[in-house]
Amino acid sequence: MKNRFRGAAVIAAVAALTLAGCSDPGAGGGDSAPAEWPAQDADLSGTTLTIWAAQNSNTVPESVVEGFEELTGAQVDVVTIPDPYEQSVQTKVATGDTPDLAFWQPTASMLTALNASTNLQPLDDAPWLDSYKPELRDITGILDDTRYAALITTPAVEGVYYNKEVFAANGITDVPANWDEFVQTGRDLKAKGVTPFFDFGGGTPWATQWWVQVQLADAAKDGLWDRVNANEETFTDPTIQGAIDTYDSLIQEGLFNENLKTATFEDQGPALLSGDAAMAVQVNSFFGQLQSLADTAELDEKIGFFPISPSGNVGTFIPDQSNALVAFKTGDAKREAGARQLLSYWLGDGYADFVEAQSTVSLQTDVDSSAEVPQALLAVSDSLADSVGSMQALAIANPDLYLNLGDLIQGTMTTAEVGEATQKQFAELAKAIGAAGF
């Protein structure tokens, strides 16, 4: 009995000691002195830099890595983090595991989710900033007046992808100039027996939220998300709730594909390409799907893009993970400087090669876009200049609006419940972030 008691005492002591050391293992970092920016070709022999990338972005750095390794003698490892990428990275960072650089969505909410001020290197006086086209320089990547993310490709824009042939066959010559015309075009097409809109409620219904967000473009320009961030306006107030109600009413009206409840993302591209449906409100990654189904010539012939907002053709931009990189505070000054040097090279001498290798649109005035960029993507990038930020870009937290809208499609939530559930989650996240007013 005495022995057993002693054993219990030992366990209790061990537990107490462990608990005493209970602190966030992700709380690395340190003070941030103003960073120096090494020359792009400074020698980095013997230094190994790690870049975390997702399954859909792990080939993006190829040309840059090759050029940088040759120029500096550094070794750069691109490590693929399995999907869901953001969750995996957050979990790793929470346990104190950080790379030198990582692909990351450069929005305020996602920078907050990484605890940017503690974990990330500030990039405020980076040498490449002046090379950006002026309208793109400060579009994203900034949290609390500090720049934490380096934008490498054009951020995605929420807007309408449409089948040009279906429009032409039904006598539509001009693309809709505002939301009402857009809906009217849908009704006209339906009257002619064409499925106007394609969305998907099966699988992970992530595109549902674009329908609500493009309706909020005018309000977003007017400071909607600032008010939401301050808890002065909520998802259940008329502006956002109204957009949710409108989305539902379009579904009830029968303007969407018949298999809305069961269709998945994989069905959307083929449906638009074949002309089974005329339009889809989507973002750039949808175009990636189209590119896997058809070549540039066919896409130029069939697929067009126009941004939409209640009062006009204003796009809603939503940078994603493949658009930008963040540099971590690893505590190793040499590697931290190496990471900054790699970014300088990426957006400096290596940028032209990068744009060509990725066949993408250039962000810089002195570098031309690749000649192989499809027209629709050029239209997307043209719409960026006067676009407004999405919920992901401007709100401090990113609630699962799309999931709740998916539940709306399935009939397990009403429009009012969608607004309430989203607001509740937003408030919970905002409280965890420590935002004032929650």
Query: In the complex, which residues of this chain contact another protein (CB under 8 A)?
Result: 3-4, 7, 11, 14-15, 18-19, 22-24, 26-27, 84, 86-87, 90-91, 93-94, 112-115, 118, 201-205, 259, 261-262, 400, 403, 406-407, 409-413, 421, 424-425, 428-429, 432-434
Task: Specify the residue, 58 or 90, whose C-beta has the smaller distance to another protein.
Answer: 90
**CA–CA separation, 71 and 68 (whole Å):** 5
**CA–CA separation, 397 and 54 (whole Å):** 22
Task: Specify the residue, 18 or 292, whose C-beta has the smaller distance to another protein.
Answer: 18
**CA–CA separation, 334 and 47 (whole Å):** 8
- Tell whether omega for the bond before 310 is within 30 degrees of 0, i.e. cis: no
Task: Specify the residue, 214 or 267, whose C-beta has the smaller distance to another protein.
Answer: 267
Task: Specify the residue, 96 or 298, whose C-beta has the smaller distance to another protein.
Answer: 96
Structure token digits, residue 204: 């992970």
The residue written with tokens 């709100």 in the block is: 395
Structure token digits, residue 148: 């934490």
Task: Specify the residue, 95 or 184, whose C-beta has the smaller distance to another protein.
Answer: 95
Task: Specify the residue, 23 or 45, whose C-beta has the smaller distance to another protein.
Answer: 23
Residue 342: closest CA among 102, 145, 57, 130: 102
Residue 89: closest CA among 77, 80, 79, 81: 81
* Least distance CB 10 / another protein (angstroms): 9
* Least distance CB 3 / another protein (angstroms): 5
**CA–CA separation, 192 and 170 (whole Å):** 8
**CA–CA separation, 335 and 39 (whole Å):** 14
Helix (H) or strand (E) holding 343: helix 333-346
* Least distance CB 412 / another protein (angstroms): 3
Task: Specify the residue, 221 or 424, whose C-beta has the smaller distance to another protein.
Answer: 424
* Least distance CB 396 / another protein (angstroms): 9
**CA–CA separation, 410 and 422 (whole Å):** 17
- Per the DSSP assignment, residues forming a β-bridge with 197 are 256, 279
Task: Specify the residue, 378 or 433, whose C-beta has the smaller distance to another protein.
Answer: 433
R_g (Cα) of the chain, nearest Å: 24
CA 379 to chain centre: 19
* Least distance CB 84 / another protein (angstroms): 6
* Least distance CB 404 / another protein (angstroms): 9
* Least distance CB 154 / another protein (angstroms): 27
Sheet holding 149-151, edge to edge: 75-80, 48-53, 101-103, 324-327, 149-151
* Least distance CB 152 / another protein (angstroms): 24
**CA–CA separation, 241 and 224 (whole Å):** 13
Task: Specify the residue, 136 or 433, whose C-beta has the smaller distance to another protein.
Answer: 433
* Least distance CB 140 / another protein (angstroms): 19
Q: Are 212 and 343 in contact (CB under 8 A)?
A: no
